[in-house]
A = this chain, B = another copy of it.
Amino acid sequence: MGRPKQFDPDVAVERAMGVFWRKGYAATTPQDLVDEIGIGKGSLYNAFGSKHALFELALARYRDSQAEWLEALLDHPGSAKDRLRGALEALVELDLGDPDRRGCMAVNTAAESALADAETADTVRKMFARTESAFRATVEEGQRAGEIDGDRDAAALAAWLLATVIGMRVLAKTAKDATRLRRIVDAAMGSL
């Protein structure tokens, strides 16, 4: 079976994710990656093929972990409104607690590359759609429970929550204090 890998590819992807997340795709060099992962260039290219292929893996990993994190939050016990508020607040704290202010990797990728690469664009689109679905399900639960006005368009509310979250995560990257972000959560929840 040949010589086994001396590094864990999963760990490597995770570290690569960290670098791409912090610096963006274009500004990340192969040198950055090997420095962070702690393997040689030969191993890197043998294992992953190209910078872009590794980026795709890193982005997919980000998508999965982020989506699961958010879905778990929305799946908590409690009222739908409380769960939505809890999720938004957790996101704010997550972003503000990051010393590197990396924001959301999917948002960053959308802003940096847009439609430059079809596969990347698709991954980002799917991630947004998945977040929107999770919001929509929670909004509909709230409507069934009578907490949220049933006359309002659940799809529209979910899309708007998605936009709010994306906006907050961009703002978190340059925010100097937390008050604006906390205000946004309050205003959004007050509008539900």
Q: Which residues of A are in contact with B by a Cβ distance under 8 Å? A: 24, 26-27, 100-103, 107-108, 110-115, 121, 124-125, 128, 152-153, 155-157, 159-160, 162-168, 170-171, 173-174, 176, 180, 183-184, 186-188, 190-192
Contacts and interface: CB of A to CB of B under 8 A. Distances in A.
Nearest to A155: B183
B128 A156 contact: no
**How many copies of this kind of chain does the complex include?**
2
Q: Which 9 A-B pairs give the minimum distances between C-beta atoms?
A: A163-B167, A111-B111, A191-B191, A166-B167, A160-B187, A26-B26, A167-B167, A156-B187, A156-B183
18 contacts: A24-B113, A27-B112, A100-B114, A103-B114, A110-B171, A110-B173, A110-B174, A111-B170, A114-B173, A114-B174, A115-B173, A153-B186, A160-B187, A162-B171, A163-B167, A163-B171, A163-B184, A167-B168
